[in-house]
């Protein structure tokens, strides 16, 4: 698979929009393109999926490890691969480049293209870009300038190619209409953004005229990708909540469950009751934005409560955790867990973490460890006994979370099963044994 990474010196440089446009431009050429996002982001992957017209994957060293990243690529292989970097090219966990786009591009041995947006500068771009290009083992081999006019681009191209000796591949002017929009927590969700398809297509049309697509393809490195061998098929029915309120799932988790088990998707907002299941999986999302609709669907709530009382296995992450407590800001929810959720004006947890199980759970026995990520502005007041000891990666900061009832487990943490296969197998083995 011929693969390239699109990166930037920092966040908010325009790399997401340019990545989407490039993917769609390649698709419009009839190329088979697979898209990936470096890091744990859910929102960008939804747009990457829209641009490539197939599910996008995550590549995350902390969540998956090197072996997991290779498996994530093999799950989503195509003729061409485009990886959108996370944050700045060198920005990793804490104050390091660990798990950065730079780290991942080196691990995969793929080239990177830098999206650079000049901010009141001309020749000053040269030493800035040169520092990133000349950093040991940097994979940056090309530049695309963002939000510049043609005459400025010509001048920038001349000095960069003369003083750095790197290929300048094109530019895109500033277009106010090419804006994916700011949402509740970052970009507007692709599911809710009615303009997303048009913006992606329009960006692709512009890039075809101003960016050297053939030059980008020439910079792509061949990545050896084999077919992913899924674990054995199991006679397990999995119900997965998926709608406007619950849409944060790693595609690797969904593909694993779809290929190992019998999966049925449903909407806690619109459907009358949960499908019959051996495992109910409720992912993250924005239940706080749909608390009234969720609360009003009493038949759904009652069906989930009934299954929990009967010993049904339920695993919930972040927004799913909020849905399982007694209420969200006064609106009654499922109430399996005795707690109350409310929103705050700032992030409560953000970033990578390492979990140690304090007791036996449906994901493993006491002492087992999981790799995870958190991102939430809500807080839950709960008096129950926590089941997770959690420590922030590269930090001494620690806290507790994870709550259970019978065969129910819920927490703010998101995990990617490719980096936690032991936990997934433990869960599925347990379901088979207890059925």
| Secondary structure of the chain as H, E, C letters | CEEEEEECCCCCCCHHHHHHHHHHHHHHCCCCEEEEEECCCCHHHHHHHHHHCCCCEEECHHHHHHHHHHHHHHHCCCCEEEEECCCCCCCCCCCCCCCCHHHHHHHHCCEEEEEECCCCCCCCHHHHHHHHHHCCCCCEEEEEEECCCHHHHHHHHHHHHHHCCCEEEEEECCCCCCCCCEECCEECCCCCCCCHHHHHHHHHHHHHHHECHHHHHHHCEECCCCCCCCCCCCCCEEEEECCCCEEECCHHHHHHHHHHCEEEEECCCCCCCCCCCCEEEECEECHHHHHHHHHHCHHHHHHHHHHHHCCCEEEEECHHHHHHCCEECCEECCCCCCEEEEECCCCCEEEEEEEEECCCECCECCCCEEEEEEEECEEEEECCCCCEEEEECCCCCEEEECEEECCEEEECCECCHHHCHHHHHHHHHHHHHHC
Is residue 117 predicted with pLDDT exceeding 80?
A: yes
Smallest Cα–Cα separation from 187: which of 39, 55, 12? Answer: 12
Question: Do residue 262 and residue 196 come from a single domain?
Answer: no
pLDDT value for 83? 98
Question: Do residue 21 and residue 150 come from a single domain?
Answer: yes
Reported confidence tier of residue 196, pLDDT bands at 50, 70, 90: confident
Would 184 be classed as within a structural domain? yes
**Which carries the bigger pLDDT value, residue 136 or residue 191?**
136
Is residue 184 predicted with pLDDT exceeding 50?
A: no
Reported confidence tier of residue 193, pLDDT bands at 50, 70, 90: low
Would 231 be classed as within a structural domain? no
Is residue 187 predicted with pLDDT exceeding 60?
A: no
Average pLDDT, the chain: 94
pTM of the model: 0.94
Question: Do residue 243 and residue 317 come from a single domain?
Answer: yes
Q: Which of 115-119, 133-137, 166-170, 344-348 has the lowest mean pLDDT?
A: 344-348
Mean pLDDT of 13-35: 96
- Residue 416 CA to residue 291 CA, distance in Å, equals 26
What is the tally of structural domains in the chain? 2
Full domain range(s) for residue 212: 2-222
Question: Do residue 336 and residue 408 come from a single domain?
Answer: yes
**Tens digit of pLDDT for each residue in 238-265?**
999 999 999 999 999 999 999 999 999 9
Would 89 be classed as within a structural domain? yes
Domain boundary residue among 162, 190, 222? Answer: 222
pLDDT value for 162? 96
- C-alpha torsion 188→256→429→241, nearest 10: 30
**What's the CATH code of the domain at 418?**
3.40.50.880
Would 232 be classed as within a structural domain? no
Question: Do residue 375 and residue 302 come from a single domain?
Answer: yes
Is residue 122 predicted with pLDDT exceeding 70?
A: yes
What would the two tokens of residue 364 be?
Answer: 């493993």
Question: Do residue 186 and residue 245 come from a single domain?
Answer: no
Mean pLDDT of 135-159: 97
Pairing of strands 221-222, 2-7: antiparallel
Per-residue b or e along 6-40, where b marks 16 or more CB atoms closer than 10 Å to that residue's CB: bbbbeeebbbbbbbbbbbbbbbeeeeebbbbbbbb
Would 149 be classed as within a structural domain? yes
Question: Do residue 282 and residue 250 come from a single domain?
Answer: yes
**What's the CATH code of the domain at 132?**
3.40.50.300
CB 356 within 8 A of CB 362: no
Q: Which of 176-180, 322-326, 336-340, 345-349 has the lowest mean pLDDT?
A: 176-180
Question: Do residue 291 and residue 143 come from a single domain?
Answer: no
Mean pLDDT of 262-291: 97
Mean pLDDT of 163-167: 94
Domain boundary residue among 180, 195, 222? Answer: 222
**Tens digit of pLDDT for each residue in 363-392?**
999 999 999 999 989 999 998 999 999 999
Question: Do residue 35 and residue 68 come from a single domain?
Answer: yes
Domain boundary residue among 188, 222, 256? Answer: 222
- Residue 2 CA to residue 413 CA, distance in Å, equals 34
Question: Do residue 248 and residue 181 come from a single domain?
Answer: no
CA dihedral for 151, 153, 158, 163, sign (positive or negative):
positive
**Tens digit of pLDDT for each residue in 395-420?**
889 999 999 999 999 999 999 999 99
**Tens digit of pLDDT for each residue in 30-76?**
999 999 999 999 889 999 999 999 999 999 999 999 999 999 999 99
- Residue 211 CA to residue 145 CA, distance in Å, equals 10
Would 300 be classed as within a structural domain? yes
Question: Do residue 205 and residue 136 come from a single domain?
Answer: yes
Would 230 be classed as within a structural domain? no
Question: Do residue 137 and residue 21 come from a single domain?
Answer: yes
pLDDT value for 234? 97
Would 63 be classed as within a structural domain? yes
Is residue 189 predicted with pLDDT exceeding 70?
A: no
Cα→Cα distances 3→29, 120, 216, Å: 16, 33, 10
């Amino acid at each position: 698979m011929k693969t390239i990474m699109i990166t930037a010196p920092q966040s908010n440089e325009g790399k997401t929009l340019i990545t989407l446009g490039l993917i769609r431009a390649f698709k419009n050429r009839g190329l088979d393109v697979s898209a990936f996002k470096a890091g744990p982001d859910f929102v960008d992957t939804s747009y990457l999926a829209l641009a490539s017209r197939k599910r996008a994957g995550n590549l995350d060293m902390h969540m998956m490890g090197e072996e997991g990243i290779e498996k994530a690529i093999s799950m989503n292989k195509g003729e061409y691969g485009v990886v959108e970097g996370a944050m700045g090219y060198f920005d990793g966990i804490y104050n390091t480049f660990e798990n950065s786009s730079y780290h991942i591009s080196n691990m995969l041995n793929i080239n990177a293209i830098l999206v650079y947006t000049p901010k009141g500068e001309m020749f000053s771009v040269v030493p800035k870009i040169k520092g990133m290009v000349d950093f040991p083992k940097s994979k940056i081999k090309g530049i695309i300038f963002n939000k510049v006019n043609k005459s400025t681009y010509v001048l920038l191209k001349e000095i960069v190619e003369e003083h750095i000796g790197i290929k300048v591949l094109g530019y895109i002017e500033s277009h106010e209409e090419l804006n994916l929009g700011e949402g509740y927590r970052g970009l507007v969700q692709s599911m809710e953004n009615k303009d997303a398809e048009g913006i992606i297509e329009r960006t692709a049309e512009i890039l075809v005229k101003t960016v050297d697509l053939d030059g980008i393809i020439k910079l792509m490195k061949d990545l050896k990708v084999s077919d992913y061998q899924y674990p054995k098929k199991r006679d397990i029915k999995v119900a997965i909540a998926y709608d406007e309120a619950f849409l944060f799932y790693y595609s690797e988790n969904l593909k694993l469950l779809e290929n190992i088990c019998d999966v049925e998707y449903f909407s806690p907002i619109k459907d009358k009751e949960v499908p019959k299941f051996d495992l109910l999986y409720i992912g993250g999302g924005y239940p706080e934005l749909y608390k009234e609709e969720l609360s009003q669907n009493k038949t759904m709530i009652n069906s989930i409560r009934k299954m929990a009382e009967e010993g049904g296995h339920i695993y919930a992450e972040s927004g799913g955790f909020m849905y399982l407590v007694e209420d969200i800001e006064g609106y009654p929810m499922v109430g399996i867990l005795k707690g109350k959720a409310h929103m705050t004006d700032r992030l409560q947890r953000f970033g990578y973490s390492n979990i140690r199980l304090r007791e036996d759970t449906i994901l493993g026995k006491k002492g087992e460890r999981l790799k995870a990520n958190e991102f939430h502005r809500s807080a839950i007041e709960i008096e129950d006994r926590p089941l997770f000891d959690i420590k922030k990666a590269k930090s001494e900061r620690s806290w507790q979370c994870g709550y259970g009832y019978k065969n129910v487990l819920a927490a703010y943490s998101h995990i990617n099963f490719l980096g936690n296969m032991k936990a997934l197998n433990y869960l599925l083995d347990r379901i088979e044994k207890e059925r």
